[in-house]
A = this chain, B = another copy of it.
């Protein structure tokens, strides 16, 4: 039983942050959830900032892998985009949670610097990937594509935020559909 405590801590912490934000994460509650003492959490992550940064770093790294898998899985821009929006959808369908970095972005100015840096990197990762995807379709000007990528990322994040507030995943689906209908999404 390699129920690696460190992994369990990170998993539980991610879920808690996705549900209640970085400020809503406490070592004591986290430890209780995992079944250890808060001192043990400090053993693995010396400060709360360390933990938050580790969470965001792993999250961004996983995003790169997953997103790049989409690009390899299909040459169809529309299909890839659908897989992309489905990733954000799955956070909602998993107990009405938000994207880890989406919710942390709201707390942006309150975050320890090392956490903020990783959250910003997640944004970069998304935008770079979207640029790569959009570049497949047409060879528009780079600036135009970057603008479009940014708009898509913002719109998807906003849809997630509003849908979670409503507690209704259908709200997300409707927003995405409206984006597609308007031509914002390919």
Q: When chains A and B are docked, how far (Å) is the Cα of A32 from the Cα of B129?
A: 45
B179 in contact with A155 (CB, 8 Å): yes
A157 to chain B, nearest CB (A): 4
Nearest-CB residue, chain B, relative to A172: B154
Q: When chains A and B are docked, how far (Å) is the Cα of A177 from the Cα of B151?
A: 9
Majority-rule SS of A interface residues: helix
B164 in contact with A108 (CB, 8 Å): yes
B106 in contact with A98 (CB, 8 Å): yes
Q: When chains A and B are docked, how far (Å) is the Cα of A148 from the Cα of B96?
A: 22
- Pairs of residues from A and B, 9 with the lowest C-beta to C-beta distance, nearest first: A158-B158, A106-B106, A151-B178, A182-B184, A154-B158, A23-B23, A155-B155, A154-B162, A154-B159
> Hey, which bits of chain A sit against chain B, CB under 8 A?
19-21, 23-24, 96, 98, 102-103, 105-110, 119-120, 123, 147-148, 150-151, 153-159, 161-166, 171, 174-175, 177-179, 182-184
